Each structure stands twice: as structure tokens, then as C-alpha cells.
Amino acid sequence: MQQNLDLQHVQLAEIRAKGVGKVIWLAMGIMVPTRLWLGGVVSVTRDRKLADRLFTKASATLR
């Protein structure tokens, strides 16, 4: 069952994580009022591709 979602406040964030000998980036999106996780993506580089992949994943979740 799909419900109408309130998209007035969607928050996107990035987190830098250090591992053994490497750095990774986690980008995630949530709907603030409901704290619904819209999706997340991981990359070794923080670039436009990371943001685009997150936007695509979050948008697909809302359809």
C-alpha cells in the first residue's frame, strides 16, 4: 500500500568514515517529520556522482 508522503522537509546528509587504510563516504536521505529513511549510498569519493546516486535512490523511494 502506497501512501501520500509529505515532502516538505527532506534532509540529505553525508558522513565521512575511516577504515583501515581507507576513507568512505555514506550519503543518506530522510524525511524529517516521520524520520523515514529514503535511502543511502556509499562511495570512496565525495563527488557529484555520490550526490546524484543518492538523489536518484531517494526519488525512486518516493514514487
Strand runs labelled E in the chain: 10-19, 22-31, 36-43
Q: What are the boundaries of each domain within the chain?
A: 10-61
pLDDT of 35 reads 87
Q: Where residue 1 falls among pLDDT bands split at 50, 70, 90?
A: very low
The reported pTM is 0.75
Q: What is the pLDDT of residues 7-40, one digit of tens each?
A: 678 899 999 999 899 999 999 999 888 888 889 9
Question: Residue range 40-60: average pLDDT?
Answer: 92
Distant-in-sequence, close-in-space partners of 26: CB < 8 Å, separation ≥ 6: 14, 15, 17, 40, 41, 42
- The residues facing 1 across adjacent strands are none
17 and 63 Cβ atoms separated by less than 8 Å: no
